[in-house]
Structure 1
């Protein structure tokens, strides 16, 4: 076939104004993360009822919680390479179906051992869906809105977690703890049907793979009507990797240093966040506050993080991403030191924890935006997912290290000062990533100068 004109798919997607098509991608990705957030924290909602129903100790729930986190990590590590090989759409829909089925099956677990296995399997699906939803969104987002689109999608996680808490308070007294797992499975299965009909494959993925021209043309014409016709040749500056594994690519030169910096950065970030998520209420209560006060302080950290997710994406689209990350992490370090050194009372504590959550929770999503902006299409899903998977082991470490430090009888100030170590390492990682990124691929990284 002879073509009379060309359309560069990558340049087209990067330069389009935000339109109804982008809103569709944003809302679908947000919905995936809402379902993820609900299912990831489901065990926290049902734990008190489970303890009473099965007559078990709190310690007995440890394997269930840890197996879920391991599932998230392994799912992320597997989901990226699968998406770079078979497409983002197939993996996202498959992952949603899988964790929906596993959640329903979890409701019929007869004991802790079976429930632990089921939560691991549920985590596999959850871990694969999260980073790939963000990857798909980043590949459709106009360049000037890309980081914001990724970070807004990750707000869905906290929305799902919060919504799950309200739903649990209503359903568990009426229908038992199993009802939360059933809802956490049925809703994703129904949503997966909707995804099958409305979720498009990544246009950049189709262009790089040189397959599905008709589907690619339809997608482009949805974004801008009549942009492609039979005489239009669809091209891209990005190339496929000709069979070279995406995992091998992300750790090969020139990506080695940047990949390691992203891994270390998110690992340390999630270590800090999960230390706080797991132990902050207990630390606050042990500092002579009531249970209600401790719960309020913990909630304010999540509120601050949700606001921070939106703001950091907006900032990263306007300034150099690594400088925004360093600024937010420095803020987290400052608020951590203030919490350690000042005796501010309940309202001062709430304010400082809100600001800490604003800084430290938002940088979690910031790492994802940095990875999605850096890696080319051939390895983007793998790069983002492997960073997420490695980071999940930081989350597991954070929860475990908290238990060790509390066993040492460290006081409030010592515990918060300890958090400056992983925050400091994350700052160094952000600096290394940013400087190396500028030297290696300024086009792929946010090249805006201010």
Structure 2
């Protein structure tokens, strides 16, 4: 149901009141709950980096089969992201968010009981659908509650959760075998019930769907927690006409923004997962023990935390485009340095530097993506952009073995470095700056 003209006027006033509120306890609770849910989802994604080697050994997988296990999960994530984004725009952020967590949690439990290569593929595909479905719901929900003055920093800081998820996943695989690690992921997915009880539906989504009374009731919960004497909102908002989630992605100037988002995600994740999903196994192939390769990978990934913090500071001062493009160029240079490293020591240094800039790059794409789409199509836009990235994630792990054979370690990282440069060029040439602007005023 779409709002009438009167409903759009009333809805715009409600969104303006939401945007003008101070950061209340309810804002903080939503951020904390969604961040925790995102952390456990990311841990399930990250865990494959550390268990790929022992799984490959147990099932006697070839290099192609090993890559297929990783890639099929990303195929599922692409389907889940695109499908759940559309469902979230139609039926609400919160219910699809909750169901996505239950789906990937159950599929992780099934993975723990995989008995051969084929059953493992099926389980990881189903897990991927659930994991991919969570991202657009979380991004849309949290971006629609954050005021413009805080949105970039908070969305960008989600990358810290991704880094922490790799550290949690790596730590879990040091003390648990790979089957018990997936059982742990199932247990963590039960946090979905906290999401269901603790997170209200998006006011902006309720307004966009014409549910003005529901939006008014939800907003009242925030206003009840605002300090006495909070001044009335003075934010001026545009009220773009919605045509439906899919049509909105390709209407007028939105086509360019949609293409920009898709290209950013595709080229970044192709290179990023081409590096990350194989990095621990490549260390094993070069003589390191599984435990040592996991420890080294965790150490390098931890450097993403300072990279994210720096990016979050700069996102609200310099803007989304320069931070993302600059981080992408520096990531490209660091990736090439990693490939050219002449010793294990220099490889470690280059890997740490690369993760600083890669984390900053990811903070930028996390902040920028939901700002490129209107409320009626935000989850669909973020979901399809993520799906484009997951297609890149499928290609990356599959291409790396072939490129390694043909061009060696240095040539492989040169190709991956070029992908980061393409992502930077797309944003500089076709992106628009969104820093400090209210979401409703970004859709012209």
Please report the TM-score for the alignment, with normalisation by the length of structure 2: 0.85
**What corresponds to 2:174 in structure 1?**
169
Quote how far apart the aligned CAs of 1:327 are.
1.5
More deviation, 281-290/20-29: 281-290
Aligned residue among 77, 85, 99 for 1:94 = 99
- 1: CA distance between counterparts of 2:212 and 2:120? 42
Is it true that 1:24 corresponds to 2:29 in the alignment? yes
Q: How many residues align?
A: 430
CA RMSD of aligned residues (A): 3.5
Instruction: Give the match's secondary structure for 1:195.
Output: helix
Q: Offset of 1:328 from its aligned partner?
A: 1.2
Contact 2:49 2:280 in 1 (8 A): no
> Whole-Å Cα distance in 1 between the matches of residues 33 and 261 of structure 2?
26
Superposed displacement of residue 10, structure 1: 2.8
Matched, 1:127 2:132: yes
- Cross-structure match for 1:434: 431
SS in 2 for 1:41: helix
Tell me how far 1:347 sits from its aligned partner.
4.3
Task: Tell me how far 1:445 sits from its aligned partner.
Answer: 4.8
Report 1:195-234 matches (<5 A).
195-211=195-211, 213-214=213-214, 216-225=216-225
Superposed CA offset, 1:208-258 (max 9, x none): 222162454344432554799xxx9xx99465755x331221122111112
Gaps of 5+ in 1: none
Distance 1:340 1:160 in 2: 25
- Equivalent residue number for residue 181 of structure 1: 182
| Residues 30, 152 of structure 1: 8 Å contact kept | no
> 1:378 deviation in Å?
1.0
Aligned counterpart in structure 2 of residue 37 of structure 1, from 42, 59, 63 = 42
Structure 1 pair 341–136 and aligned structure 2 pair: CA distance change class (3 A): same
Matching of residue 425 in structure 1 with residue 414 in structure 2:
no
Provide Cα deviations, 1:299-326, integer angstroms capped at 9, x if missing partner: 3442222332333233212222111112
Answer yes or no: is the 8 Å Cα contact 1:38–1:164 preserved in 2. Answer: yes
Alignment of 1:27-66 (within 5 A): 27-47=32-52, 49-50=54-55, 54=59, 60-66=65-71
| Separation in 2, partners of 1:284, 1:428 | 32
Which residue does 1:245 correspond to in 2? Answer: 244
Q: Report the alpha carbon displacement of residue 135 of structure 1 after superposing the two structures with TM.
A: 1.7
Write out aligned runs for 1:218-297 (5 A).
218-225=218-225, 237=237, 239=239, 244-281=243-280
1:15 pairs with 2:45:
no
Find the aligned partners of 2:226 and 2:404 in 1 and give their Cα distance.
Answer: 63
Q: What is the deviation of 1:153? A: 2.7
Corresponding residue of 2:3: none
1:168–1:360 CA distance, 2 compared to 1 (3 A): closer
Structure 2 gap segments, 5+ residues each: 1-5
User: Which residue matches 2:72?
Assistant: 67
For normalisation by structure 1, the TM-score amounts to 0.84
Segment drifting more, 318-327 vs 67-76: 318-327
- CA shift digits 1:254-291 (9 cap, x unpaired): 11112111111221111111121134456667889888
Offset, 1:84? 0.7
Specify which of 142, 150, 164 is matched with residue 147 of structure 2: 142
**Equivalent position to 2:160, from 151, 155, 162:** 155
SS of the residue corresponding to residue 251 of structure 1 reads coil
Q: Is the 8 A contact 1:135 1:372 kept in 2?
A: yes
